[in-house]
Amino acid sequence: MKYRFDWSSIWEARGLILDGLATTILLSACALALASIIGIIVGTLASSRHKALRFGAAATVELTRNVPLLIHMYIWYIGLAFLRLPPFLCGVLGLAIYTGAYVAEIVRGGIASVPDGQGKAALATGLTPLQALLLVVYPQALRVVAPSLANVFSQLIKDSSLASAIAVMELTYQASAIEGQTFRTFEIYITICALYLFLVTLVTLALRLFSGSRDDVSQAELAGA
């Protein structure tokens, strides 16, 4: 038996697909921003000289990473249903907290890769500890961890498909609805695969370009010194 592809039904449902794509982009962008904030804070605490802060950050990372992402979303959507949070916000919180734990570990490793003398030298020039982190340590750590962050952020986009389980009308949710109406399984899932591939490739290239531009700036600064 030969399968005949029919893309006309996919074209007719392009409005739903584009709505799902827009929701996926917005969901991923919001979760990415919040995950970055969480990761930077927790990763910095994990690099602290205070043992209690390091232990608390490490425990938070391990606890968060060892719970499946879908359970994180169910906790917000079902376990904390009394909060009456919209599904989209539950998806953002689940994605951000889960991904933030991985970002935190990457940030911790990036900070550890910066020689300790860099921070001490910054403090010796009169900078405050916060200024030393923002102006000296973080920029150097970012160049080291950029490839790892690209992998994590790409994974976040793919993981956003799990938000369909809590009724977030993103790309996978819309694909399932279209498949149920048209029964064109191969066509719709080939389409969303291509869209996910496009998004992930775009994010990866953007971070690589950003990392490369940072390296070029650093080399120019060294050359002019």
Sign of the alpha-carbon torsion through 78, 81, 83, 86: positive
The model's pTM is 0.86
Residues 91-108: pLDDT tens digits?
A: 999 999 999 999 999 999
The answer to whether the beta carbons of residues 13 and 182 sit under 8 Å apart is yes
Full set of structural domains in the chain with CATH: 14-224 (1.10.3720.10)
- Six-digit token string for 183: 């029964």
Residues 115-173: pLDDT tens digits?
A: 888 888 888 888 888 888 888 888 888 888 888 888 898 999 999 999 999 999 999 99
Helices (H) and strands (E) in the chain, counts: 10, 0
The answer to whether the beta carbons of residues 72 and 101 sit under 8 Å apart is no
Is 220's pLDDT higher than 50?
no
Q: What is the pLDDT of residue 145?
A: 86
3-state secondary structure of 111: helix
